[in-house]
Structure 1
Amino acid sequence: MWSTLATDLPNSFRFTGTKSDALAVREIFKNRYIPAITAMKFEGQPVEPPKPVKAFPDELVWDMKTDKKIVRRHAPFADFQKFLVTEAASGNISRQEVVSMIPPHFLDVKPGMVVLDMCAAPGSKTAQLAEMIHGDEEERVKKAASGESPNTGDGGDYSDDGRSTGLLIANDTDYKRAGMLVHQVKRLNFPNLIVTQHDASIYPSIELPSAQGEKKQHLKFDRILCDVPCSGDGTARKNPGVWSKWTPKDGLGLNNLQLRILFRGLHMLKKGGRLVYSTCSMNPIENEAVIAAAVEASGGTSKVKIVDCSHLLPELKRKPGLTKWKVMDTSFDTGSKETTAHLFSSWDNFVQAHFKNEQSESTRNFSNKIVPGCFPPTAESEEGRIPLENCLRVYPHMQDTGGFFVAVLEKVGDIKVAQIRSSSNEADLKQARAALENATPSEFESNDKANGEVPTREQSPLKRKLDNDEDDDTAKRSKTDDAPAEPVVSAVEELPSKPAPNGSDTRSAPSGKPKPEQQSQNKEYFEYLSADNSDVTRILDFFGISDRFPRDRFMVKNSEGLLLNKLYYTSALAKSIINQNKYRGMKFVHCGVIMFVAHKVNKDRDLPAPWRLQNEGIRILEPWASKRIVHCTSKATLYKLLIEMFPILPKDGAHKIGEVGDQLMKLDIGCVFLQIEQTEGEDGFPFRMVLPLWRHPGSANLMVDKDDRKAMLLRLFNEKNPEIINHVADQAKAKAAKEAAKEEEEEHEQTKEATEEATEEAVEAVEAVDENDDADGDVKMEQGDAIDVDA
Structure 2
Amino acid sequence: MRGGSRGGRGGKGKSFKSGRGGKKGGGRDVRTEPWGETTRKNDLFESYYKMGGFLEEEEFEKMWEYLAMDLPNSFRFTGTKADALAVREIFKQRYIPGITSVEFEGKPVPPPEPVQAFPDELVWHMKTHKKIIRRFAPFAEFQKFLVAETTSGNISRQEVVSMIPPHFLDVKPGMVVLDMCAAPGSKSAQLAEMIHGDEEDRVKRAANNKSPNIDGEGDYSDDGRSTGLLIANDTDYKRAGMLVHQVKRLNFPNLIVTQHDAAIFPSIELPVAEGDKKQYLKYDRILADVPCSGDGTARKNVNVWQKWTPKDGLGLHNLQLRILFRGLQMLKKGGRLVYSTCSMNPIENEAVIASAIEASGGVSRVQLVDCSDHLPKLIRKPGLNTWKVLDTTQINGEEKTAHMFTSWDAFLKTKEKYEKEEPERQFSNKISPGVFPPIATSEEERIPLERCMRVYPHLQDTGGFFIAVLEKLGDIKVTQIRNSHNEAEEQKAKDATRSAIPATTEVPAEREIEVEPEAESAAPLKRKLEEDQPAPPKRVKTLTENGDAEDPISLVEEPPKEENSSSLSNRATEAQVATPTTVVAKPAKLKPEAQNNNKEYYEYLPSDDATVDGILSFFGISDRFPRDRFMVKNKQGLLLNKIYYTSELARSIISQNKDRGMRFIHCGVVMFVAHKIKAQDHVKAPWRLQNEGIRILEPWAKNRIITCKSRDTLFRLLIEMFPKLPKDGTHELNEIGDQLNAMDIGCCFMRVEQDEEAGFPFPMVLPLWRHPGSANLMVDKDDRKAILLRLFNETNPNIINHVAEQAARVKEEARLAEEESEKEKENGESADADADADADTPMTEL
Give the alignment's TM-score, normalised by structure 1. Answer: 0.88
Aligned to 1:476: none
Report the counterpart of residue 495 of structure 1 in structure 2: none
The equivalences for 1:570-609 within 5 A come to 570-602=646-678, 605-609=681-685
The aligned residue for residue 215 of structure 2 is 153
CA contact (8 A) 1:326 1:344 kept: yes
In structure 1, how many angstroms separate the alpha carbons of the residues matched to 2:549 and 2:602? 54
The Cα of 1:737 is off from its aligned counterpart by: 1.4
Is the CA contact (8 Å cut-off) linking 2:409 and 2:507 kept in structure 1?
no
Deviations 1:610-638 (A, max 9, x none): 00100000000000001000110001000
Write the letter of the residue equivalent to 1:636.
D
Q: Name the count of aligned residue pairs.
A: 724
Task: Determine whether 1:221 maps to 2:249.
Answer: no
Matching residue's letter, 2:813: K
CA contact 1:38–1:48 (8 Å) conserved in 2: yes
Residues of 1 paired with 2:314 and 2:459: CA distance? 27
Provide closer, same or farther for how the CA distance between residues 600 and 144 of structure 1 changes in structure 2, counting only shifts above 3 A. same
Question: Secondary structure in 2 aligned to 1:316?
Answer: coil
- Listed one character per residue, the Cα deviations across residues 762-789 of structure 1 (whole Å, up to 9, x for unaligned) are 6667793356xxxxxxxxxxxxxxxxxx
Distance 2:157 2:296 in 1: 18
Aligned match of 1:685? 760
CA 307–141 in structure 1, closer or farther in 2 if over 3 Å, else same:
same
2:65 equivalent to 1:3:
yes
Is residue 724 of structure 1 aligned with residue 807 of structure 2? no
State the shift of 1:487 in Å: 7.9
Equivalent pair of 1:462/1:488 in contact (CA under 8 Å): no
CA shift at 1:444, angstroms? 3.3
Change (3 A) 1:713 1:761: same
2:418 paired with 1:357: yes
Q: Deviations over 1:582-628 (max 9, x none)?
A: 12221111101100000112376242110010000000000000100
Is 1:539 the counterpart of 2:615? The answer is yes
2:458 pairs, out of 374, 397, 408, with 397
Give the match for residue 613 of structure 1.
689
The Cα offsets for residues 299-324 of structure 1, whole Å up to 9 and x where unpaired, read as 11111111111111111111000111
Determine helix, strand or coil for the equivalent of 1:413.
coil
Q: Is the aligned partner of 1:561 residue 2:637?
A: yes
Match 1:735 to one of 799, 810, 819? 810
Tell me if structure 1 keeps the 8 A contact 2:759–2:791: no
| Alpha-carbon distance between aligned partners in 1 of 2:392 and 2:208, rounded to the nearest angstrom | 69
**Preserved CA contact (<8 Å) 1:344 1:450:** no
Query: SS of the counterpart of 1:563?
Result: coil
The answer to whether the Cα contact below 8 Å between 2:78 and 2:155 also exists between their aligned partners in 1 is yes
Deviations 1:633-686, CA, capped at 9 Å, x for gaps: 0010000000000000010041111110110001000000001100021x3311
Task: Tell me if the contact between 1:554 and 1:570 (Cα under 8 Å) persists in the aligned partners.
Answer: yes
Give the aligned residue type for 1:730: E
Which deviates the most, 335-344 or 625-634? 335-344
Q: Deviations over 1:534-559 (max 9, x none)?
A: 11100100000000000000000000
Alpha-carbon offset, residue 67 of structure 1:
1.1
1:646 alignment counterpart:
722
What is the letter of the counterpart of residue 668 of structure 1? D
Aligned-residue offset at 1:450: 8.6
Work out which of the residue numbers 429, 436, 451 in structure 1 matches 2:497: 436
Structure 2's unaligned 5+ residue stretches are 1-62, 510-531, 557-587
Following the alignment from structure 1 to structure 2, what is the Cα–Cα distance between the partners of residues 196 and 426? 36
Q: CA shift at 1:757, angstroms? A: 4.4
Aligned mate of 2:346, from 276, 284, 288: 284
SS at match of 1:29: helix
2:504 is paired with a residue whose SS is helix
Alignment check: 8 A CA contact 2:541 2:551 kept: no
The separation in 2 between residues aligned to 1:564 and 1:24, in whole angstroms, is 38
Write the letter of the residue equivalent to 1:632.
C
For the Cα contact (< 8 Å) 1:371–1:425, is it kept in 2? no
Structure 1 425/766 Cα, relative in aligned 2: closer, same or farther at 3 Å? closer
2:130 partner letter: K
Aligned pair in 2 of structure 1 residues 289, 198: CA closer, same or farther (>3 Å)?
same
1:324 aligns with 2:324: no
Is the aligned partner of 1:624 residue 2:718?
no
The CA deviation string for residues 384-433 of structure 1, in whole angstroms up to 9 with x for no partner, is 11100000101111111000000000111111221222221435413312
Hey, what does 1:780 align to over in structure 2?
A: none
175-184 or 733-742: bigger deviation: 733-742
1:370-385 pair list within 5 angstroms: 370-385=431-446
CA deviation after TM superposition for structure 1 residue 249, in Å: 3.1
SS in 1 for 2:311: coil
Aligned equivalent of 1:477: none
Q: Distance in 1 between matches of 2:652 and 2:760?
A: 40
How far apart, in 2, do the equivalents of 1:97 and 1:608 lie? 49
Match of 1:76 in 2: 138
2:129 to 42, 45, 67: 67
Equivalent position amino acid for 2:437 in 1: P
In structure 2, the CA distance between the partners of 1:761 and 1:245, relative to structure 1 (3 Å rule), is same
CA displacement at 1:355 relative to structure 2: 3.0
Pick the aligned partner of 1:423 from 484, 488, 508.
484
Distance in 1 (CA, whole Å) between partners of 2:821 and 2:490 is 91
Q: Render the CA deviation track for 1:471-507: whole Å, top value 9, x for unaligned.
A: xxxxxxxxx9999998869xxxxxxxxxxxxxxxxxx
1:18-37 equivalences in 2 (<5 Å): 18-37=80-99
Specify whether residues 446 and 578 from structure 1 end up closer, same or farther in structure 2 by C-alpha distance, changes over 3 A only: closer
CA gap of 1:269–1:463, structure 2 versus 1, over 3 A, is farther
Distance 2:134 2:707 in 1: 43
Q: Secondary structure at the match of 2:327?
A: helix
Q: Is the 8 A contact 1:342 1:453 kept in 2?
A: no
Unpaired segments ≥5 residues, structure 1: 465-479, 490-513, 772-791
Preserved contact between residue 391 and residue 404 of structure 2 (Cα < 8 Å) = yes
**Match runs of 1:153-552 below 5 Å:** 153-333=215-395, 339-360=400-421, 362-438=423-499, 439-444=501-506, 519-552=595-628
Do the aligned partners of residues 445 and 336 (structure 1) sit closer, same or farther apart at CA in structure 2, a change above 3 Å counting? farther
Paired letter, 2:630: F
Aligned to 1:708: 783
> Alignment RMSD, CA only?
2.6
Displacement of 1:453: 13
Alpha-carbon distance, 1:197 to partner: 0.5
Which segment drifts farther, 222-231 or 351-360? 351-360
Name the amino acid aligned to 1:16: T
Q: Does the CA contact (< 8 Å) of 1:8 and 1:237 recur in 2?
A: yes
Residue 411 and residue 486 in structure 1: after superposition, are their counterparts in 2 closer, same or farther (change >3 A)?
farther
Q: How does 1:113-132 map to 2 (within 5 A)?
A: 113-132=175-194
For residues 111 and 631 of structure 1, the distance between their equivalents in structure 2, rounded to whole angstroms, comes to 31
Distance 1:290 1:770, change over 3 A: closer
Letter aligned with residue 407 of structure 1: A
2:826 counterpart residue number: 751
Q: Which residue of 2 aligns with 1:86?
A: 148
Q: Is the 8 A contact 1:328 1:487 kept in 2?
A: no
For residues 685-719 of structure 1, give each alpha carbon's deviation from its aligned partner in whole angstroms, at most 9, with x where no partner exists: 11100000000011101000111111111111011
Q: Does 1:103 align with 2:162?
A: no
Paired AA for residue 212 in structure 2: P
Letter of the structure 1 residue corresponding to residue 496 of structure 2: A
Change (3 A) 1:567 1:40: same
Change (3 A) 1:43 1:410: same
Q: 1:461 to 1:77 in 2, by over 3 A?
A: closer
Which moved further from structure 2: 285-294 or 342-351?
342-351
Q: Percent identity?
A: 69
Residue 656 of structure 2 aligns to a residue whose secondary structure is helix
Counterpart of 1:272 in 2: which secondary structure?
Answer: strand
Q: Could you tell me how far apart the structure 1 residues matched to 2:551 and 2:186 are?
A: 35
Shift of 1:156: 1.2
